[in-house]
């Protein structure tokens, strides 16, 4: 019997990255409870020894590793279970992904798709609002997730600041 199951993952694909990419909420929760997390990739132009060696050895593989991590970080399961403020996290990550799409010559389309998926995720979260009180708390929240600061339309202003709006080409379905 062959030991090859047909599934191939790079050695950098950790169980939590894989579970997050597959949106396996229970598995992600189990791994988070055990202290696992997805490492945030280094900046695109990072000059640390690890990054320089990866790029020098295989630039495409380094780009794939970075994208793989971002796919896990941008999953609905991972954001929902690991963040105190999933909306703020989605906004900041979406902005970072759009920046990566501008910087990265490989996988530009993938980064843009991840950013668009995060925008849709925020809409799905907002669809879960059931009361006027919940709406006011979410729409008026400002500051970091641990801050209890509110101002009228704080999240709307934040969404605009992060560029979270329907783009003209998003309407052509």
CB within 8 A of 25, min separation 6: which ones? 77, 80, 81
Task: Look at residues 31, 104, 32, 46 and name the one whose alpha carbon lies nearest to residue 70.
Answer: 104
Mean pLDDT comparison of 6-10, 48-52, 65-69, 138-142, highest-scoring range: 65-69
Q: What percentage of the chain has pLDDT greater than the value 70?
A: 82
Whole-angstrom distance, CA of residue 21 vs CA of residue 75:
6
Reported as a pLDDT band with limits 50, 70 and 90, residue 22 is very high
Residue 4 has pLDDT above 80, yes or no: no
pLDDT score for 56: 73
Summarize pLDDT for 78-88 with one digit per residue, the tens: 999 999 889 88
For 133-148, what is the mean pLDDT? 72
Q: What is the pLDDT of residue 147?
A: 66
Q: What is the mean pLDDT of residues 43-49?
A: 81
**What pLDDT score does 172 carry?**
42
**For residues 51 and 59, what is the distance between their CA atoms, to the nearest angstrom?**
10
Look at residue 90 in the predicted model and tell me its pLDDT: 92
Contact 93, 40 (CB under 8 A): no
Is 47's pLDDT higher than 60?
yes
**2 or 62, greater pLDDT:** 62
């Amino acid at each position: 019997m062959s030991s090859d199951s047909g599934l191939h993952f790079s050695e950098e694909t950790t169980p939590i990255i894989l579970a997050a990419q597959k949106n396996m909420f229970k598995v992600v929760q189990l791994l988070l409870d055990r202290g696992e997390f997805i490492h945030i990739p280094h900046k695109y132009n990072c000059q640390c020894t690890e990054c320089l060696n990866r790029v020098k050895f295989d630039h495409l593989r380094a780009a794939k590793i970075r994208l793989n991590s971002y796919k896990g970080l941008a999953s609905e399961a991972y954001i929902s279970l690991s963040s105190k403020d999933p909306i703020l996290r989605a906004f900041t990550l979406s902005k970072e992904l759009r920046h990566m799409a501008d910087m990265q010559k490989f996988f530009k389309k993938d980064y843009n798709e991840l950013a668009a998926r995060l925008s849709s995720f925020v809409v799905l979260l907002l669809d879960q609002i059931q009361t006027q009180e919940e709406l006011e708390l979410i729409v008026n929240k400002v500051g970091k997730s641990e801050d209890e600061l509110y101002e009228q339309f704080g999240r709307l202003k934040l969404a605009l600041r992060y560029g979270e709006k329907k783009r003209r080409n998003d309407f052509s379905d």
